[in-house]
Amino acid sequence: MKLQNIQYYFREVVVSMARNRWMTFASIGTVAVSLFVLGIFLILIANMTNLASELESQVQISVYLKDELKTQDQENIKNKLKNLTNVTEVRYVSKEEAFQTLQRRLGEKQKILEALGESNPLPNSFSVTVKIADDVQKTAEIISKFNGVEEVSYGQEVAINIFDVTRLIRVLGFVLMIILTGATIFIISNTIRLTVFARRKEIAVMKYVGATDWFIRWPFVLEGTVFGLIGGGISAIALRSFYSAMSERIYSTLAFFPIVEQHPFMNYLTVVLILSGIAVGVLGSTVSLKKFLEV
Amino acid sequence: MIHLKNVTKIYKDNGVVALEDITIDIGEGEFVFIVGTSGSGKSTLIKLLIHEETATAGEIFVDNRDVIKMKRTEIPYLRRSLGMIFQDYRLLEDRTVYENVAFAMQVIEAPQQIIRRSVDNVLEIVGLGEKKNHFPSQLSGGERQRVAIARAIVNAPKLVVADEPTGNLDPDTSRDIMDIFKRINDAGTTIVMATHDKQIVDSMKKRVIEIEDGHIVRDEIKGLYEKIGKKDVVVPKIGSNNQKFGAGSVRR
């Protein structure tokens, strides 16, 4: 590619954007709005997935120990638990600690505990966090057969429900992402088709005076890149401020709700949006041009 | 310059036989009129020369290039070797006269200084030096066609192909335009012009090839628009602007 041609291509892009000001404005606007909407859904999907993992990680197995167990036996059980493949964390909960937790949970109603007097009916236990939530049932069964274990509990019904919900969230999120990406590509490439169509006479004249296909194509490819870059950039800036405002609101009102941290998530999203904007812009102009090059 | 042998063109989409078994040889520096009524096949002939349509059978050589066997990527180079002029001018409305002409040189990647010199020079030839910064909408029909001619000859082609160049112009303007074509021809450029403008054909006394229903029915050196003795050959003095009735292109 000659330097003079590169200069020509860039000048063509600038001149064409200035001449077709409204078309340029509409195209960049469409790219920006489409990518913004896509971005919102990507944020939602990311948070839904995050929520799903968060829910799953809260699935724990409580291993209640028999009373009057020696410290040595307790240590043995703890080691055996730690050696299980599906176990990530084992925490000892003494009967005193369990009692305090119970008191806290009851809050104002903790007076009922006074009926127990000085005795503490709660057992010592281990709180076990698992790696793969789906396998929690298998792991619990293994643990229940250990010597010295009174009972095992992992909130059976609740856990199974959570898995159903998280699976649904993931599948829905994926489907939604595919559909929205498709719709975005369709809208953007249609807009670009309009800008190409507006210049079909110019393309025909270029063909008649002997321009090669690539000579005609380059300015359009560059224009597509510029549309994608600016449109993607605008949508990314808008999404960043949208997400930081939303995060603040959620932190102040629904503090327990696990939202995805802004960094580095928003940086990834920015890169993804700008790159997909450019890709759709370039593809859109190349595909739309094809028809008009057949002269 | 141009060599057609047994050329047949059948349009695929409707099966119309536009040209059948056409053989023509045109030498360098000739001025040839292709005449015939609307739908006779003369526009198809022009389209075959510039590879806008591909012939169904036969062989076509333009400036020693095999037009029929040509690859898609070679078409631009064929078109660079010839200039094209149309009835509807095909100018870019959003560019000035200068830019419209310079455009033809930019796309063939000519250096900037040469573009400037050539465009100024060619605008002088067609008499539009004063109006180089005007837009097409500010020009008359005749002036627009001059811009189109300037664009066609700016790359100094050996062959200029024109399809009804005076079709939208009044007789006086047509005559001016023909003067320009004559000067270009005198400078050695081959000209092939499809037309049904009786007046200009009769006044030029150049070679005339008449096409009727896709066949060559006449090929005369220093011919007239109509064959002598065929009908009345009286040249109407006024109101002969009969081009309004058809663009002369083959209706598909």
Q: ipTM, 2 decimals?
A: 0.78
CB contacts under 8 A, B 6-65 vs A, are 50, 52
Contact A205 B103 (CB under 8 A): yes
Residue B229 to chain A, least CA–CA distance (Å) = 40
Tally of domains in chain A: 2
In chain A, residues with a C-beta closer than 8 Å to the C-beta of B103 are: 205-206, 209
Give domain limits for chain B. Answer: 1-81+159-252, 84-156
CB A45 within 8 A of CB A173: yes
Read off the pLDDT band of A5 (50, 70, 90): confident
| Single-letter amino acid, residue B3 | H
Which of A153, A176, A211 represents a domain boundary (last residue)? A153
Read off the pLDDT band of A156 (50, 70, 90): low
CB A195 within 8 A of CB A223: yes
Report the alpha-carbon angle B246-B251-B252, nearest 5.
170
Residue B109 to chain A, least CA–CA distance (Å) = 7
Contact B107 A5 (CB under 8 A): no
In chain B, residues with a C-beta closer than 8 Å to the C-beta of A7 are: none
- CA gap A98, B107 in Å, rounded: 83
CB B211 within 8 A of CB B40: yes
Residues A187 and A289 in one domain: yes
Mean pLDDT value of segment A273-291: 86
By residue range, what is the domain housing residue A212?
3-55+162-293
Residues A275 and A176 in one domain: yes
In chain B, residues with a C-beta closer than 8 Å to the C-beta of A18 are: none
Mean pLDDT value of segment A99-120: 78
- φ and ψ at residue A105, rounded to 5 degrees: -65, -35
Residue from A259, A85, A287 nearest A186 by CA? A287
Which of A153, A175, A199 represents a domain boundary (last residue)? A153
Whole-number pLDDT of residue B244: 41
Which of A153, A170, A201 represents a domain boundary (last residue)? A153
In chain B, residues with a C-beta closer than 8 Å to the C-beta of A216 are: 107
Q: Has residue A192 got a pLDDT over 60?
A: yes
Contact A211 B94 (CB under 8 A): no
From the list A201, A206, A295, the residue facing B107 with the nearest CB is: A206
CB contacts under 8 A, B 173-232 vs A, are none
CB A47 within 8 A of CB A107: no
CB B79 within 8 A of CB A208: yes
Inter-chain Cβ pairs, chain A and chain B, closer than 8 A: 50
Chain A residue with Cα closest to B80? A210
Sheet hosting strand A60-65, strand order edge to edge = A87-93, A125-130, A60-65, A149-153
- CA gap B172, A240 in Å, rounded: 67
Residues A264 and A234 in one domain: yes
Residues A172 and A288 in one domain: yes
Residue A190 to chain B, least CA–CA distance (Å) = 24
Question: For chain B, what percent of residues have pLDDT higher than 70?
Answer: 90
Which helix (DSSP H) or strand (DSSP E) does residue B209 occupy?
Answer: strand B207-212
Concatenate the DSSP letters of all residues of chain A into one string. --HHHHHHHHHHHHHHHHHTHHHHHHHHHHHHHHHHHHHHHHHHHHHHHHHHHHHHHT-EEEEEEPTT--HHHHHHHHHHHHHSTTEEEEEEE-HHHHHHHHHHHHGGGGGGGGGGTT---PPPEEEEEES-GGGHHHHHHHHHTSTTEEEEE--HHHHHHHHHHHHHHHHHHHHHHHHHHHHHHHHHHHHHHHHHHHTHHHHHHHHHTT--HHHHHHHHHHHHHHHHHHHHHHHHHHHHHHHHHHHHHHHHH-TTS-PPPHHHHHHHHHHHHHHHHHHHHHHHHHHHHHHHH--
Residues A28 and A70 in one domain: no
From the list B94, B103, B109, the residue facing A5 with the nearest CB is: B109
Residues A187 and A258 in one domain: yes
- CA gap A51, A14 in Å, rounded: 46
In chain B, residues with a C-beta closer than 8 Å to the C-beta of A202 are: 92
Q: What is the pLDDT along chain B (252 residues), one digit of tens a residue?
A: 899 999 999 998 888 899 999 999 999 999 999 999 888 888 899 999 999 899 999 999 999 899 998 888 899 999 988 999 999 999 988 889 999 999 899 888 888 889 999 999 999 999 999 999 999 999 999 999 999 999 999 999 999 999 999 988 999 999 999 999 999 999 999 999 999 888 899 988 899 999 999 999 999 888 888 876 554 444 444 444 444 444 444 444
Residues A189 and A47 in one domain: yes
Long-range contacts of B183-188 (CB under 8 A, 24+ apart): B183/B125, B184/B149, B184/B153, B184/B160, B185/B29, B185/B31, B188/B28, B188/B29
Q: Compare A56 and A62 and report the one with higher pLDDT.
A: A62
Identify from B65, B80, B93, B94 which residue to disrupt to test chain A contact, counting A C-beta atoms within 10 A and taking the largest count: B94
Residues A19 and A126 in one domain: no
Q: Compare B202 and A162 and report the one with higher pLDDT.
A: B202
Residues A180 and A139 in one domain: no
Mean pLDDT value of segment A217-238: 91
Q: Which residue(s) pair with A62 in the sheet?
A: A127, A153
pLDDT mean across residues, chain A:
84
> Which residue, chain included where needed, has tokens 């001619």?
B149
Whole-number pLDDT of residue A113: 77
Residue from B119, B246, B144 nearest B195 by CA? B246
Chain A residue with Cα closest to B89? A205
Identify from B62, B109, B153, B155 which residue to disrupt to test chain A contact, counting A C-beta atoms within 10 A and taking the largest count: B109
In chain B, residues with a C-beta closer than 8 Å to the C-beta of A6 are: none
Overall fold of domain B1-81+159-252: Rossmann fold (3.40.50)
Q: Is B103 on the interface with A (CB under 8 A)?
A: yes
Residues A285 and A174 in one domain: yes
Whole-number pLDDT of residue B239: 45
Residues A118 and A180 in one domain: no
What radius of gyration, in Å, describes the C-alpha atoms of chain B? 18
In chain A, residues with a C-beta closer than 8 Å to the C-beta of B50 are: 208
Q: Compare A200 and A110 and report the one with higher pLDDT.
A: A200
Contact A209 B78 (CB under 8 A): no
Q: Has residue A66 got a pLDDT over 80?
A: yes
CB contacts under 8 A, B 111-140 vs A, are 111-112
Least confident of A35-49, A184-198, B46-60, B105-119: A184-198
In chain A, residues with a C-beta closer than 8 Å to the C-beta of B92 are: 201-202, 205
In chain B, residues with a C-beta closer than 8 Å to the C-beta of A215 are: 107, 109
In chain A, residues with a C-beta closer than 8 Å to the C-beta of B112 are: 4
Mean pLDDT value of segment A86-110: 83
First to last CA, chain B: 29
Contact A209 B108 (CB under 8 A): yes
In chain A, residues with a C-beta closer than 8 Å to the C-beta of B109 are: 2, 4-5, 215
Residues A146 and A177 in one domain: no
Whole-number pLDDT of residue B243: 42
Chain A residues with a Cβ under 8 Å from any Cβ in chain B: 2, 4-5, 8, 19, 201-202, 204-213, 215-216, 295
Which of A49-63, A124-138, B62-76, B219-233 has the largest mean confidence?
Answer: B62-76
Whole-number pLDDT of residue A187: 80
Contact B107 A201 (CB under 8 A): no
Q: Has residue A70 got a pLDDT over 80?
A: yes
Structure tokens at B102: 């310079």
Residue A295 to chain B, least CA–CA distance (Å) = 6
Sheet hosting strand B17-26, strand order edge to edge = B17-26, B2-10, B57-62, B65-66
